[in-house]
Structure 1
């Protein structure tokens, strides 16, 4: 499926690495003007070399005031991908306030804040738009030591549905993508034990984890007019895990 985003401006958070980085590259290759947001400047420098013309924004999305200052005047955005996230692995009895607050501030609160900024601009312009929130299959299933991360993703499910309901009359669609393990740096961290990784992979009917490209292709589909009647949905890219 050939997608063309020429004439559209996209904003991608968590753009420095993994799924976010490849999403920026795919959107750039498809003709979009891309605002790439991450907290690590070195990643923005290297990404700008790969994708000349992107608009880099370096900010810690866990900081409400800094995010407002960095993105409050970002200008017209047609497509938004809320991808930024942190993973702090702790069992329930050892979860700290700092880990809980950091996880919810980055993984969930920033989705609300950045989406508000972008959606208000869309509504003021009378322009349609598409927002994609990057969630996870752990919004629906439990994994060891991921209680805080899983809770943020579960909450994102209802946030996505509520956004879709309230923004739909303005022709703004909101959906999520819920992948299984993807072996980015973050994914490798969560499956660092080889035996756990082997057993987990065997529980997937396709006997594999998702590739970054699989997730990016789903994001692009939801951003495009090929999904014009899809909103409030979560698309699983889980190699059949929840079906088994």
Structure 2
């Protein structure tokens, strides 16, 4: 149980990769503080894992800071909260931009800042993993704001690693491919849509949420204690070819 006695804050923990992280970290002994917009998801996660839930709309900067303060001191932070609004370059709206950048980038940076301030006040140490995407590395149709948010978070991850390293805080990111959460599985169930994308993966499949969670756990663990400022693709080789 490598995370026994440790506490992890997970944003976007109600569904998808965030929920898989909560399940995995709890299963490995961590105390999980789960942040999600939906109380029902937090309630079911608590019943399943014992996670302490905080309902928060991370698009509200003040609410995000208050939720991090309510979460209390923690050893780790996983920034999993994320959304997408599918709009082309010519159709981009201010509403879509604000929604995607507000959650995927600004909220993540606020959570990193509040986590880091608490860790420095406690004497340093700890680790952060930010979840980005292969969309920050390749151009996908209708993903303009999403790609900008994920590429921005990777750049911020390197700055965070540089500035927080002297305090013993490691910061890394993972860039998953299409991950078969419940929502994504439905979206990619049409073979005509999924097959052209799938064949670009040397492993010839998409990722499972638990596989992404395991990569995150690796970066949080002492097995990665010399890894900081890195972006780890969890993509079945997509970015390698």
Task: State whether TM-score is above 0.5.
Answer: yes
1:112 corresponds, among 109, 112, 129, to 109
Aligned-pair CA distance for 1:65: 1.4
Aligned residues: 241
Aligned residue number for residue 11 of structure 2: 13
Q: Is the partner of 2:90 in helix, strand or coil?
A: helix
1:98 corresponds, among 95, 99, 109, to 95
- For 1:1-244, list aligned pairs within 5 A: 3-52=1-50, 54-188=51-185, 191=188, 194-244=191-241
Q: Is the partner of 1:176 in helix, strand or coil?
A: strand
Aligned-pair CA distance for 1:189: 6.7
Cα distance in 2 between the residues matched to 1:232 and 1:93: 34
Stretch moving more, 129-138 or 186-195: 186-195
**Superimposed CA distance per residue, residues 9-44 of structure 1 (whole angstroms, 9 cap, x where no aligned partner):** 110000001110010011111111110000011101
Aligned-pair CA distance for 1:211: 1.4
Contact 2:54 2:71 (C-alpha < 8 Å) held by counterparts? no
Contact 1:164 1:232 (C-alpha < 8 Å) held by counterparts? yes
Q: Is the partner of 1:177 in helix, strand or coil?
A: strand
Q: TM-score, normalised by structure 1?
A: 0.95
**Superimposed CA distance per residue, residues 35-89 of structure 1 (whole angstroms, 9 cap, x where no aligned partner):** 000001110111111012x210000111111112222243211000000000111
Aligned-pair CA distance for 1:210: 1.2
Cα distance in 2 between the residues matched to 1:40 and 1:164: 31
Aligned-pair CA distance for 1:188: 4.1
Structure 2 spans left out of the alignment, 5+ residues = none
Taking only aligned residues, the RMSD between alpha carbons, in angstroms, comes to: 1.3
Q: TM-score, normalised by structure 2?
A: 0.96
